[in-house]
């Protein structure tokens, strides 16, 4: 895993390419402490930057940007291709010769043979750009599920791209103005929704998309989308399929030339990964967890018990309020874009890094594909209830207006938003998962930047079943916009590669066709039965998210960080996550001087 960046241009900035690409590279230095490289094309239409965290082929042969032997194609790549060895052998059988043991060279050779279709062969997490120095074109792609981020800014024929928004801004080319759409999405959901960022005219290349640059012409295309069309599968067959696919995913995610550890929370997902990894790996596994003094939030004891059961080398760190306060300024400087999450991953990544790890596995994604959140029950109930109420639309809208205007809690205000709209899973999900209501978000935006936002983006849910619609929304919104982005930025801050075996294209394609009543049964029953090694005391304990005791910390050690919010006085800030979201936004804006 690494940091990538580049600039493509026809007429502008060519005389200043060295300075621009060096600034971009400097903005990515923390992502790749092991090596760095820059490439500038002969006719100065392209410049690539790379910073390397060495995971596969630790030798200088893995240096990037990398080129084909004839110098035609150049690549800068971030991520891991887990099936690269199989692809490499296929290419060798077709006469290709390789000069390294890297997955980077495999992508380069595959593009040389298959062009745009190369993305269909790749299993893993990736963001890369390939420059064709003969045709003067560039192919940019991002993995199917959006594990690796890729941002870009375009003005005329000039396009700048990078692994982080900060590196785009470091180029000095985009104007630093807040995006109304990005800011609204952040206030409503707690993270910035793709394809927007918090900076106007800077975008995130959407998951499962590629982009093709040809000077004045740029083409974007979606190459992958999840398919929930069910097949006739019995419960027993479903369990077998899930287990086989999960074992296969875990085996692939252990492909590395450096040791691989596991983040262990003591929940079903991370325990399932550890249980199966114990069977597939021959070395003693290393696990890492965080504990708290506050009993309500502490999962350290259960994680230690799981580690003992599977005989791992376990490292636990107890995070106190005073330690968190000391670490918090470093966390603030690590933020690429604000969210209401991230500090947890920042802390546990620090623990793994300080114990010599460069790669860790996480249980992220299990809840989204096996129905582990309350949203799988609550959102369909909200839609059903609203449809009944909309038989009398005047009453529904009046009730909605009353709640959004006069509701005495954040949840009531968001419920009011939902009732005013035509019933949909997107609006119900936004109400359930939301932070600020529509009116509140608009008022905050108007106070911050003097503009008013009126349009709300609706995701296309197709003809999914109710629970599949929720699964799609959780994968496309909460997981992609918040969990994956925070996971990437916060782990890479410590020179740590975060891998997510549940967020695997092959696994998800296998699981998605299992009928909803089996795949999304309560308590993640399908996953539990597929991994019978899970102990009862893990399966039957109440679900807890990987959260910190912010509510109590904010009223003591952390208090000054979350005071003096410059927002309309009628907006309720009793909920910790509202205070957090505004404080993090303010620190971020101050840092980038927006």
Dihedral, 192, 193, 195, 197 alpha carbons, nearest 10: -10
Q: Is-cis flag, bond preceding 195, omega within 30? A: yes
Cα 33 vs. chain centroid, distance in angstroms? 22
**C-alpha to C-alpha distance for 159 and 201, rounded to whole angstroms:** 11
160 φ/ψ angles, rounded to the nearest 5 degrees: -115, 135
Q: Take residue 325 and report the two structure tokens written for it.
A: 């306060």
What are the DSSP E strand ranges found in 267-320?
286-292, 313-319
Q: Helix or strand or coil: residue 166?
A: helix
Active site members: 2
How is 15-30 classified by DSSP, letter by letter? GGHHHHHHHHHHTTGG
- The helix (run of H) or strand (run of E) holding residue 242 is helix 235-253
**C-alpha to C-alpha distance for 443 and 447, rounded to whole angstroms:** 6
Q: Take residue 166 and report the two structure tokens written for it.
A: 């900060």
378-400: b (≥16 Cβ within 10 Å) or e = bbbebbeebeebbeeeeebbebb
Which one-letter DSSP state was computed for residue 358?
A: S
Of 163, 158, 202, the C-alpha closest to 27 is 163
- The helix (run of H) or strand (run of E) holding residue 440 is helix 438-449
**C-alpha to C-alpha distance for 588 and 594, rounded to whole angstroms:** 9
**C-alpha to C-alpha distance for 590 and 338, rounded to whole angstroms:** 12
CB neighbour class for 523 (10 Å; exposed up to 12, middle 13-18, buried from 19): middle
Beta partners for residue 212, in sequence order: 139, 219
Longest Cα separation, the chain: 71
**C-alpha to C-alpha distance for 219 and 580, rounded to whole angstroms:** 38
**C-alpha to C-alpha distance for 289 and 292, rounded to whole angstroms:** 10
Residue pair 277/254 in contact (Cβ under 8 Å)? The answer is yes
**393-406 and 375-389 helices cross at what angle (nearest 10)?**
130
289 φ/ψ angles, rounded to the nearest 5 degrees: -150, 170
Residue pair 188/426 in contact (Cβ under 8 Å)? The answer is no
Cα 481 vs. chain centroid, distance in angstroms? 6
Which one-letter DSSP state was computed for residue 131?
A: E
Residue pair 99/61 in contact (Cβ under 8 Å)? The answer is yes
């Amino acid at each position: 895993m690494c940091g990538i960046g580049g600039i493509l241009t026809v007429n502008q900035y060519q005389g200043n390419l060295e300075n621009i690409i060096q600034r971009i590279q400097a903005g990515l230095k923390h992502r790749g402490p092991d090596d760095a490289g820059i490439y500038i094309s002969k006719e100065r239409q392209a410049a690539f930057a790379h910073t390397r965290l060495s995971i596969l082929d630790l030798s200088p042969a893995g240096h990037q940007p990398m080129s084909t032997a004839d110098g035609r194609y150049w690549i800068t790549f971030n991520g891991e291709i887990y099936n690269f060895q199989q692809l490499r052998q296929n290419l060798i059988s077709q006469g290709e010769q390789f000069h390294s043991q890297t997955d980077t060279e495999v992508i380069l050779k595959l593009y040389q043979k298959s062009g745009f279709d190369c993305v269909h062969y790749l299993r893993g997490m990736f963001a890369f750009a390939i420059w064709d120095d003969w045709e003067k074109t560039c192919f940019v792609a991002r993995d199917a599920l959006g594990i690796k981020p890729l941002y870009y800014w375009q003005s005329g024929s000039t396009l700048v791209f990078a692994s982080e928004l900060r590196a785009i801004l470091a180029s000095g080319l985009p104007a630093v103005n807040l995006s109304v759409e990005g800011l609204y999405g952040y206030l409503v959901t707690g993270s910035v929704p793709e394809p927007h960022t918090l900076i106007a005219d800077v975008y995130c290349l959407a998951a499962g998309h590629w982009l093709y640059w040809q000077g004045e012409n740029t083409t974007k295309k979606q190459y992958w989308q999840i398919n929930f069309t069910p097949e006739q599968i019995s419960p027993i067959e479903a369990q077998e399929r899930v287990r086989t696919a999960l074992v296969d995913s875990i085996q692939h995610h252990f492909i590395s030339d450096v040791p691989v550890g596991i983040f262990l929370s003591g929940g079903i997902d991370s325990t399932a990964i550890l249980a199966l990894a114990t069977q597939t790996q021959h070395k003693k596994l290393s696990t890492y967890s965080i504990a708290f003094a506050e009993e309500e939030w502490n999962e350290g004891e259960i994680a230690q018990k799981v580690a003992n059961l599977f005989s791992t080398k376990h490292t636990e760190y107890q995070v106190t309020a005073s330690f968190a306060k000391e670490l918090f300024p470093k966390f603030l400087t690590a933020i690429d874009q604000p969210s209401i999450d991230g500090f947890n991953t920042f802390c546990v990544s620090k623990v793994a890094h300080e114990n010599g790890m460069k790669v860790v596995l996480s249980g992220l994604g299990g809840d989204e594909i096996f129905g582990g959140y309350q949203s799988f029950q609550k959102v369909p109930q909200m839609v059903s209830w609203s449809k009944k109420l909309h038989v009398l639309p005047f009453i529904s809208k009046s009730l909605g207006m009353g709640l959004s205007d006069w509701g005495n809690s954040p949840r009531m205000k968001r419920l009011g938003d939902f009732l005013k709209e035509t019933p949909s899973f997107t609006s119900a999900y936004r109400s359930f998962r939301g932070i600020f209501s529509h009116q509140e978000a608009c008022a905050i935006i108007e106070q911050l930047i003097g503009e008013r936002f009126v349009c709300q983006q609706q995701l296309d849910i197709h003809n999914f079943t109710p629970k599949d619609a929720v699964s799609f929304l959780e994968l496309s919104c909460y997981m992609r916009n918040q969990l994956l982005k925070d996971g990437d930025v916060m782990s890479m801050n410590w020179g740590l590669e975060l891998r997510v075996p549940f967020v695997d294209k092959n696994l998800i394609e296998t699981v998605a066709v299992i009928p909803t009543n089996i795949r999304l049964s309560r308590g993640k029953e399908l996953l539990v039965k597929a991994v019978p090694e899970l102990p009862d005391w893990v399966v039957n304990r109440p679900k807890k998210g990987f959260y910190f005791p912010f509510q109590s910390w904010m009223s003591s050690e952390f208090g000054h960080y979350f005071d003096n919010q410059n927002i309309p006085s009628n907006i309720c800030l009793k909920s910790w996550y509202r205070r957090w979201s505004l404080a993090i936004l303010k620190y971020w804006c101050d840092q980038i001087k927006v």
